[in-house]
Amino acid sequence: MRRRMWGPAALLALLATVVPVASAEAAVPMASAEAAPGVRAEPLPLERLFDNRAVSDDARPGAADFDGSGGSLSAQDLTAAGWTPGRSLSVDGARLTWPRTAPGEPDNVTADGQSVRLRGRGDALAFLVAGTGGKAQGTGTVRYQDGSHSTYRLTAPDWRSGPLATKSVALPHINTPDGQLAEKARLYVVTVPVVRGRAVASVELPRDNGPDLHVFALSVRPTTEGWTGSWSASTAGYAAVGPWTDRTVRLVVHTSTGGPRVRIRLENTFATTPVRIGSATVAVQDAGAGARGEPVAMSFRGAAGTEIPAGAQAFSDPLDFDVPADTNLLVSFHLPGTVTAAPLHSQAIQRSYVSGPGDHAADGSSSAYTSTITTWPLLTGVDVGGGPGSVVLLGDSITDGVRSTQDANRRWPNVLARRLLNQSVVPRYGVLNQGISANRVVTDRYPGDGVSTDTGGVSALHRLDRDVLAQTSVRTVVVFQGVNDVRWGASAEQVIAGLREIAERARARGLRVVGATIAPCRGESLCTASADAERVAVNAYIRDSGGDFDAVLDFDAVLRDPAEPARMLPAYDSGDHLHPGDAGLAAIAESVDLRVLGA
């Protein structure tokens, strides 16, 4: 049974809740039947509506009751994850504040139509939520300062049984009056679209229609005006590294477009503990770990370093630095503590470097960098000032560049970026490579939690918000996935349903969506005749999707052998019959009609 605490402010908000209307057009709100005649409460800050206690001290677990059965989150576990009271957290491009309350005090709202004061312009609302009693969902309303409104559908996975692949943080225990359980508690950041360009005035939470939907924090995710994504990499898993203690990591990344300013994005995705960054620099690569000129120091909210809580991200401050297009950069950061595991991109197809002991981020010389790695830990983005925005390529190992020449930047996204730089038909977009080797559309390879040797990532559906919708100034997404699904037994119907959902969710955020057909792979051990039949069926859907995609790229037609269409043309085959080599990757990129990327 729900145990809800009603303070005076919460009661007043309940009595004057506005009834949501279905239309997205401007409308005059109607007072609910519960409102007193002539009385309508103003929207209140979320914290003034808190009516539930979710967090307890381990020594006093009975002081909170999150789920109506005495269960609660451990304050000590939250602190260990870096989620301390009043802490500002950046997740998927949104900034949210963990409630500034002590254990045992009200710290969240049980959604039931309350009107929340909120200001801002952006592309989405971000909710820090969890359900109790099962997956909770409902429809709410966004009201804009010009008098218009729109509706949204919010789903909060259950705090004990929801998917780990989409959680923002998992805590190792659940507190109960009878003792602590060694069971994971989950919290989620969920985003829903708003009307771009309109200033938000307030948000009405979904009304109670089943399992309780709890809201801890709410914000408008701003659009990234003035920035273009130049380089990115998807977090493919959480794997053992080093261990590194007092080491500096120097990562080599290749820009697509350039600009006069730079910022980087570091992410502690899938982690359970914070990671400390002591300092960070950026430089143009000379050779190996050597910089061309002095590396330039970066800052984080004015400080030399930062601590990134579990599941969160950190952007560096804007830095005046001339970033050349189509060039290798050195992004260096010092890890003063001990790091034994980290979120990383496993198939960098690029050598990067780790120093001996000490902070060597500012070193222009390569002498301190005594070992190499072929992954990209923690770093997920490099943005440049200005520019027209970015194109995201959502894919698997072919997009990742597996079997291309190491250190040569011959992935098909690199070739596409160079084509964009050397033309004037469409804007010179940044190109963001969000390919993950072994990734699938509908099934997670990496389970989404814990240290694992599997770095195939969570499914495209589960990483869509982080890897596409939250990317810097994204305008268009190209979806080139599905071969791993059919190779591992997924039906065409399952893959098509996943692709259709990706297209629907991306278009709801205003993105242009381009579908790409799945390449042939006969001759590879898992590319059986039955798998190929499913591939052919998926490709038939992509070519004639009934409007699900704004445009189609037929990579199957580009790569296949005309004499045996289920196989890759030998000249394009890297030798494993699944991955194109350099020539095949170039053929993919050269086949793209740049006009499909948008004007």
- Asked if the model's pLDDT at residue 38 lies above 70, the reply is no
Same domain, 362 and 417: no
- Asked if the model's pLDDT at residue 5 lies above 70, the reply is no
Strand, coil or helix: 129: strand
- Asked if the model's pLDDT at residue 41 lies above 70, the reply is no
- Asked if the model's pLDDT at residue 521 lies above 60, the reply is yes
CA atoms within 13 A on the CB side of 288: 12
Supply the pLDDT for residue 32: 28
Is residue 584, in this structure, part of any structural domain at all? yes
Helix 582-591 vs helix 412-421: crossing angle, to nearest 10 = 40
pLDDT in tens, 171-210: 999 999 999 999 999 999 999 999 998 999 999 999 977 8
Same domain, 533 and 471: yes
Q: Report CA-CA distances (Å) from 324 to 255, 426, 447.
A: 7, 20, 38
Q: What is the DSSP string of 556-594?
A: HHHHEETTEEEEE-GGGB-SSSSSB-HHHHHHHHHH--G
Q: Look up the CATH number of the domain holding residue 589.
A: 3.40.50.1110
Pick from 514, 517, 579: nearest CA to 554? 517
Give the span between the Cα atoms of 513 and 596, in whole angstroms: 9
Q: Please give the radius of gyration of the chain, using alpha carbons only, rounded to the nearest integer.
A: 25
- Asked if the model's pLDDT at residue 1 lies above 90, the reply is no
Task: Decide if 533 contacts 491 (C-beta within 8 A).
Answer: no
Same domain, 190 and 253: no
- Asked if the model's pLDDT at residue 3 lies above 80, the reply is no
pLDDT in tens, 580-590: 999 999 999 99
Same domain, 482 and 567: yes
Tokens found for residue 62:
């009975």
Phi, psi of 158 (to 5 degrees): -70, 140
Is residue 135, in this structure, part of any structural domain at all? yes
- Asked if the model's pLDDT at residue 12 lies above 70, the reply is no
- For range 427-443, the mean pLDDT: 98
Spell out the residues 6+ positions from residue 20 whose beta carbon is closer than 8 angstroms to its own: 113, 139, 140, 141, 149, 151, 204, 207
Is the previous residue joined to 243 through a cis bond, with omega within 30 degrees of 0?
Answer: yes
Give the span between the Cα atoms of 599 and 589, in whole angstroms: 18
Buried b / exposed e along 172-195 (16+ C-beta atoms within 10 A): ebbbbeeebeeebbbbbbbbbbbb
Same domain, 540 and 584: yes
Supply the pLDDT for residue 283: 98
Same domain, 376 and 481: no
pLDDT in tens, 543-594: 999 999 999 999 999 999 999 999 999 999 999 999 999 999 999 999 999 9
Supply the pLDDT for residue 208: 79
In degrees, rounded to 5, the angle at the alpha carbon of residue 279 between the alpha carbons of residues 275 and 285 is 115
Domain encompassing residue 336: 238-385
In the chain, pLDDT over 70 holds for what percent of residues? 93
* 189, 221, 253 - which closes a domain: 221
Task: Decide if 264 contacts 315 (C-beta within 8 A).
Answer: yes
In the chain, pLDDT over 90 holds for what percent of residues? 91
Is residue 360, in this structure, part of any structural domain at all? yes
Supply the pLDDT for residue 8: 36
Give the span between the Cα atoms of 191 and 207, in whole angstroms: 18
pLDDT in tens, 127-139: 999 999 999 999 9
Quickly tell me which residue has 């370093």 as its tokens.
305
* 353, 385, 417 - which closes a domain: 385
- Asked if the model's pLDDT at residue 14 lies above 60, the reply is no
Same domain, 392 and 381: no
pLDDT in tens, 83-106: 999 999 999 999 999 999 999 999
Is residue 229, in this structure, part of any structural domain at all? no
- For range 249-267, the mean pLDDT: 98
Is residue 228, in this structure, part of any structural domain at all? no
- Asked if the model's pLDDT at residue 265 lies above 80, the reply is yes
Is residue 340, in this structure, part of any structural domain at all? yes
Supply the pLDDT for residue 325: 98
DSSP H helices, 270-352, are: none
Same domain, 451 and 438: yes
Is residue 498, in this structure, part of any structural domain at all? yes
Same domain, 338 and 408: no
| 9-23, 223-237, 316-330, 358-372: the lowest-pLDDT one | 9-23
Same domain, 319 and 215: no
Is residue 444, in this structure, part of any structural domain at all? yes
pLDDT in tens, 106-117: 999 999 999 999
**Terminal Cα-to-Cα distance of the chain (whole angstroms):** 55
* 385, 406, 440 - which closes a domain: 385
Structural domains counted in the chain: 3
Same domain, 554 and 429: yes
- For range 366-385, the mean pLDDT: 98
Give the span between the Cα atoms of 263 and 281, in whole angstroms: 10
Give the span between the Cα atoms of 205 and 113, in whole angstroms: 5
Same domain, 423 and 369: no
Q: How far is CA 105 from the centre of its chain?
A: 31
Task: Decide if 223 contacts 350 (C-beta within 8 A).
Answer: no
